[in-house]
Amino acid sequence: MHNTSQLMITDISWKYKGNENYIPQMILLDGKNKKRIIELSNFKFDFKLSEEKYCTGYYLDDGWRECPLKSIITERSHTQCQFCENKQGFKSAFLFGQKPNENMKKYLAQKHFIYLAYFPSGIIKVGTASEQRKFIRPIEQDALLYLYIAESDGFNIQRLEHSISSSLSITEFVSGRVKFKRLGHKINKTFGVKALMDNYKRIYAKFSNNDDFKDWLYEENQLKINDISCNREIFYPEKYEKHIKTEEYNIYGEFKGIRGRYLLVENYENIFVFDVRYLIGRIIIGDTGEKRYERSNDGQIGLF
């Protein structure tokens, strides 16, 4: 591993290269607030990480801003402090329906899309994505078979999403626990495509005569099924388990894949799964050398 002095992990996710080409990557930030991007294919981790987890800052329309408070994050699933979360404004406006700040007004003004996604458990999910994240949002959700069915602006799009969910019992949320249990399950495309189209037809029948929503919906000849389940970067482990020592702030082993919010690493021929939210915000403080993770006693798939 090259010099990692004061590099902070700010993201572990995907970059879209066009033509259904996705690159797994890790974004690091140095002490001078400059990004370092590492493509993870064939990458070997050898990181000793800080016990403290820091706020990753916030995005404005002109780019990333450092957290001015250099806040330490105590909630395992959080990546921002309250100050930076408020400055960015996404959660308050898009998730909690509060009045958007100026930053979010610009974000919400862009075109937004509604998608239906099929998961190997047979679950259909309805969700939204902005135009700039149209091809990234589904893969971040581990939605590997999906289609877009409607578009509007970000100020209004959630009204249709919530209406679809409430009136037709299509979920807006698939838990990480459910996704984790099915990391090794491949999609039955024939069944999945039929399920997506059947649910699109239900939605169209319900809302195509609704004055509020009818102009937002796509006609059937406008639909495109997106299948990234066979992408060469999508890894399906046969056996795997969670990283069981949550007090150990190290990561070592060969990168195998990213599935939703989970990072999969091979260590001595065993696949271990990390929640990336646990890693984001930690400082790389050194190398670990070759080490072996302890396995759970029963060797079974663990749950977060």
pLDDT, tens only, 8-44: 999 999 999 988 899 999 999 887 778 899 999 999 9
Edge-to-edge strands, sheet with 111-118: 124-130, 111-118, 145-153, 226-227
Helix, strand, or coil (residue 11): strand
Of 289, 293, 287, the residue nearest 7 (C-alpha): 287
Tokens of 90: 């996404």
Q: CB count, 10 Å around CB of 131?
A: 12
Residue 282 clears pLDDT 50, i.e. is over it:
yes
Q: Is 160 helix (H, G, I), strand (E, B) or coil?
A: helix
Nearest to 103 by CA among 134, 76, 77, 65: 65
- Cα–Cα distance for residue pair 99/204, rounded to 1 Å: 30
State residue 59's pLDDT score. 84
pLDDT tens readout for residues 158-191: 999 999 999 999 999 999 999 999 999 999 999 9
User: What is the rounded CA–CA span in Å between residue 256 and residue 183?
Assistant: 12
- What amino acid occupies position 194? K
From the number of C-beta atoms within 10 Å of its C-beta (0-12, 13-18, 19+), residue 51 rates as exposed
Q: Does 213 have pLDDT greater than 80?
A: yes
- Judge whether 79 and 280 are in contact, CB under 8 Å: yes
Judged by DSSP in three states, 248 sits in coil
pTM for the full predicted model: 0.89
DSSP 133: G
Q: Give tens-digit pLDDT for 242-259.
A: 876 555 678 889 999 999
| Average pLDDT score, the chain | 89
Query: Where residue 304 falls among pLDDT bands split at 50, 70, 90?
Result: very low
pLDDT score for 295: 75
